[in-house]
Amino acid sequence: MNDLLSPISDTQDTPRLPLKPLGKVIAVTSGKGGAGKTFVAANLAAALARRGHKVLVLDADLGLANLDVVLNLHPKITLHDVFTGKATLEEAILQAPGGFSVLLAGSGLVEYSRLTPEVRNDLLRIIDGLVPNYDIVLLDTGAGISDVVLFAVSLASEVLMIATPEPTSLTDAYATIKVLVSQQQRQTVRIVVNQAARTGAGLPITNQLQQVLDRFVTTAAGHPIRLVHMGDIPIDPEVRQAVMRRQLLMQNSPGCPAAQAITQLATRLENTVMPKLA
């Protein structure tokens, strides 16, 4: 892994994004597409709602949104309509299966693939307007380190990085964490290992990633970045069945191993993260 996660050179100057974290906001992100962040965000929201929390998931993958597909929703009003003034924020919020709220983005909208001043201000205004009305807001971001993704992450008080055991996923997670440290001065990133071979298999992976970060990445103040292993979601055939049926795993198969792992993740967030965000 150390060879795969060797230091990544900075080939271009990327503008620093000011960190404006808002309480009660958690960014669910990943370094690589296909890690399962939308699946985790939606089912984690359902698990938190089941525990009595008022939760909203915002599809912050503005250009390639697919939260609507995961939830089998067909919105008539999206975040695009709010941005353009065609609808109010309240009109765009939908109730999702699982007992939580969603704010869906449109897919294939090229104008949201870059962080223009308009997109930046609109996104900040929307999230700022949502926070007072919910116990927790989950941002389902895009993957990688585009300026839109990084700005969305910068608005969150906590980062939940979803990675799989695949070397490419871990390499991209490392690269993304490095950018979060250098541009946003992040000192803590929380890791969830999805598609783990078994429960507990992700902790050694997180520890290896921590060792590489300790060697190559420090904050501006010279402090090491701290990874917090929040748990694993094991490989489970019920996950594929739920995804193909466009149903939440927490509703379709709440007793399966993957659903139990997501419930445990919700409990850890409830006990360790949410009290600090209140």
Predicted confidence (pLDDT) at residue 161 exceeds the cutoff of 90: yes
Predicted confidence (pLDDT) at residue 58 exceeds the cutoff of 80: yes
Q: In terms of Cα–Cα distance, which of 135, 123, 171, 110 is closest to 54?
A: 135
Q: Measuring CA to CA, how many Å separate 203 from each of 173, 228, 270, 278?
A: 15, 9, 20, 28
User: Helix 237-245 vs helix 257-268: angle between axes, to the nearest 10 degrees?
Assistant: 90
Confidence band, pLDDT 50/70/90 cuts, at residue 110: low
- Which domains are assigned to the chain? 25-277 (3.40.50.300)
Q: Measuring CA to CA, how many Å separate 270 from each of 46, 86, 174, 186, 277?
A: 13, 36, 26, 21, 10
Predicted confidence (pLDDT) at residue 46 exceeds the cutoff of 90: yes
* Cβ 49 vs Cβ 138: under 8 Å: no
Predicted confidence (pLDDT) at residue 52 exceeds the cutoff of 60: yes
- pLDDT attached to residue 262: 98
Concatenating the DSSP letter of every residue in 79-99 gives HHHHHTTSS-HHHHEEEETTT
Confidence band, pLDDT 50/70/90 cuts, at residue 83: confident
What is the dihedral angle through the alpha carbons of 15, 21, 22, 28, rounded to the nearest 10 degrees? 90
- The alpha-helical segments, DSSP class H, found in the chain are 37-50, 67-71, 79-83, 89-92, 117-130, 147-154, 167-184, 202-216, 237-245, 249-252, 257-268, 274-277
pLDDT tens per residue, range 205-261: 999 999 999 999 988 778 889 999 999 999 999 999 999 999 999 999 999 999 999
Of 129 and 5, the one with more pLDDT: 129
* Cβ 5 vs Cβ 209: under 8 Å: yes
Q: Residue 275: CB partners within 8 Å, gap ≥ 6?
A: none
Q: Which DSSP symbol is given to 111?
A: G
d(CA 233, CA 257): 8
d(CA 196, CA 211): 20
* Least confident piece of the model among 119-128, 154-163, 256-265: 119-128
